[in-house]
Amino acid sequence: MFTGLIEHLGTVSAIHRDDGGCALTISQSAPILVDCHIGDSIAVNGACLTVVEFDIERDGGYFKIWLANETLSRTDLGDRKVGDQVNLERAMGAHVRFGGHFVQAHVDITATILKRTLDGDSLRLWFQLPEPTAERRSLLPYIIPKGYVTIDGASLTVTSVNDAERTFGVMLIQHTQQKITLAKKANGERVNIEVDMVGKYVEKSVLAALEGGGGEAMRTFVQRIVEETLVNKGILPFAPVSNDSGSM
């Protein structure tokens, strides 16, 4: 589990590819290797990856990770080049304050940087999600204004959403611009997106209740909420009489 608060920027120093995937070596990373062990998880641009080799002294502190083809297809890590910086965060410790949001570092999909504008010292960015497919459905239901989204591993607040255009926006204050790679990426580049996992669990639970044995009870519950809302707004003069067997 991670928080989405980037700890350090590392630098890609070596890339080795084969048919099975890709090995990345990330250097200048000593600050996050002080308590590292082989097998530890580090989020690299928002993707949870396993440390297979490290040395805190060489190359400013380096570690090596392996990217399977699934990871390459889901993330922007296959686009990285030697010299690129990447966002790094260690797995969250139980003894630390929780300052971001619950991040699994399981990237859902990539989005494209659409445009950017300055707003005082802050930077506004807009992103476009790809068209949904049968294999990868739309993530827009999980992205809401003032909600949160993880972009390249950074926990950010959503400022706007346009479902019709499949776009959403965020704002980076000056401090954040200096601490993560996002402000340095160009329009047209890809970013890694992870949406709120809590929303996914809620959706799955509601769908399971509607489709399973509790479906009728759930439908009745939702209907009551809708009716009460309509009454409170003056759209209905009164709530219809319930036909539940438990009614008097």
Catalytic residues: 2, 41, 48, 50, 68, 106, 157
SS (H, E, C) the chain: CECCCCCEEEEEEEEEEECCEEEEEEECCHHHCCCCCCCCEEEECCEEEEEEEEECCHHHCEEEEEEEHHHHHHCCHHHCCCCCEEEEEECCCCCCCCCCCCECCCCCEEEEEEEEEEECCEEEEEEECCCCCCCCCCCHHHCCCCCEEEECCEEEEEEEEECCCCEEEEEECHHHHHHCCHHHCCCCCEEEEECCHHHHHHHHHHHHHHHCCCHHHHHHHHHHHHHHHHHHCCCCCCCCCCCCCCCC
